[in-house]
């Protein structure tokens, strides 16, 4: 049975370079690893404890939780918005952090990577994402780091899949995340 990695992308725009990074990861996943690029984060409403009650959870949030529950590990792709994590990704983390103590991250391995236009490649956002997802119950693999600067120029005409350096870095990220699945906590 394949190891299932759920990819969550913190940008909703159609031409998102973080989405393209995730697409590249899907393509280069080795045999025995299946990466699902989660669709539908835009439809998940802002987290609200008033609706996170039995019978009240929106179907879009239930679907996200089910996809996360079925995953063995998570790969988060985050750009940086105003020096921190985009709201769409933070919202997904918030939904997956509850019910408190039994959220879908459930001690499973999580790696955070991404690209942004700035010279540090969104490192602040990716650090914030690691902090949040760790508090939310994920087992963050702290030494998996990939922050690619200059997104808008570097990927203007080259899809990350066709950028040999990036493809090699992503291959390494996926292999290291995979190696943490089933590892002792
Ligand atoms: C609201 C907003 C805030 C941004 N703030 C930052 C920032 O703090 N640091 C940075 O490097 N880039 C920043 N950018 C530029 C993004 O890094 C760039 O648009 C990036 O390509 C977005 O990722 P995407 O291609 O996946 O959509 C910002 C972009 C937007 C729209």
* 114, 116, 118, 123 alpha-carbon torsion, rounded to 10°: -30
Residue 114, beta-bridge partner list? 147
Q: Is 78 in the pocket of ligand 1 (CB under 6 A)?
A: no
Nearest CA to ligand 1 atom 28: 81
pLDDT tens digits for range 64-92: 999 999 999 999 999 999 999 999 999 99
Looking at the CA of residue 152, tell me the nearest atom of ligand 1.
Answer: 21
Q: Is a pLDDT exceeding 90 seen at residue 183?
A: no
Q: Is 47 in the pocket of ligand 1 (CB under 6 A)?
A: no
Q: Is a pLDDT exceeding 70 seen at residue 185?
A: no
Cβ–Cβ < 8 Å for 25, 7: yes
77/63 Cα distance (integer angstroms): 20
Best residue for ligand 1 mutational test, from 13, 42, 81 (most atoms within 8 Å of Cβ)? 81
């Amino acid at each position: 049975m394949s190891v299932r990695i759920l990819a969550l992308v913190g940008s909703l725009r159609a031409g998102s370079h973080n989405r393209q990074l995730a697409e590249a990861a899907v393509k280069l996943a080795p045999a025995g690893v299946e990466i699902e690029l989660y669709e539908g984060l835009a439809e998940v409403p802002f987290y609200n404890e008033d609706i996170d009650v039995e019978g009240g959870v929106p179907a879009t949030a239930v679907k996200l939780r089910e996809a996360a529950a079925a995953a063995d590990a998570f790969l988060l792709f985050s750009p940086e918005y105003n020096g921190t994590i985009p709201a769409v990704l933070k919202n997904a983390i918030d939904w997956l952090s509850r019910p408190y103590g039994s959220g879908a991250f459930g001690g499973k391995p999580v790696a955070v990577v991404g690209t942004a236009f700035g010279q540090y490649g969104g490192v602040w956002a990716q650090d914030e994402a690691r902090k949040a997802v760790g508090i939310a119950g994920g087992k963050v693999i702290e030494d998996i780091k990939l922050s690619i600067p200059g997104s808008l120029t570097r990927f203007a005409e080259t899809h990350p899949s066709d950028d040999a350096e990036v493809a090699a870095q992503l291959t390494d990220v996926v292999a290291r995340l995979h190696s943490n699945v089933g590892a002792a906590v």
